[in-house]
Amino acid sequence: MRFHLFGFILHLLAIRAISIQKFHTYELKNQHDISIEWENYSHILICTKETKDLAKEWGNKLLNKGIKNDSICVIAPLPKWMTKSSGAKKLIKTTIAHLEKEIPIFIDWGEKIININKICEYPTIILLSKNNQNEIYELGRVCGKYSDKKYNYLTKESRSYFQKLFHF
């Protein structure tokens, strides 16, 4: 009986090890009309206007931990209803460009990235990697206010999956 239970547990662990989710992408542009190059990013920070301060805290902590600035991507989801009036997209893009001149903010018009990747809390930080075929996968995600516990969880997920299946 013990042997079967042990085998079952090993089977569950094996399933978890290979159950990395594919990260679904779309063409996004930032406030300066530059297209996103998904393969350049290892960390995705998704935040709304209301959670931008929490996202900035995450960004600063990631930089302090040695994550390179150009490997962090910031995405701002905008629901469809915000873009229904004529000129709304241009106004929103101009406003983002005025408020944030240096950091590229990629705009998720209609929340396509949010919906297909089942993101429901902000800010969300997603750790990405690509496999040998340049397919992008989600290694882990955390949501909400920064804490060392959440950061450690994210890096633990990164190390465990990285050693088994991926290389950069």
pLDDT digits (tens, 9 = 90+) for 129-160: 888 888 899 999 999 999 999 999 988 876 66
- Give the range of the structural domain holding residue 59, as residue numbers without chain letter: 21-165
Residue among 81, 82, 61 at smallest CA distance from 142: 61
Share of the chain above pLDDT 70, in %: 82
Evaluate whether residue 119 is within a structural domain: yes
Residue 61 in tokens:
């902590």
Evaluate whether residue 150 is within a structural domain: yes
Residues contacting residue 56 through CB under 8 Å, at least 6 positions apart:
none
Evaluate whether residue 56 is within a structural domain: yes
The answer, as to whether pTM is greater than 0.85, is no
Cα distance between residue 134 and residue 129, in whole Å:
9
Share of the chain above pLDDT 90, in %: 57
Ramachandran class of 144: left when φ > 0, alpha when ψ lies in -120 to 50, beta otherwise:
left
The total domain count for the chain is 1
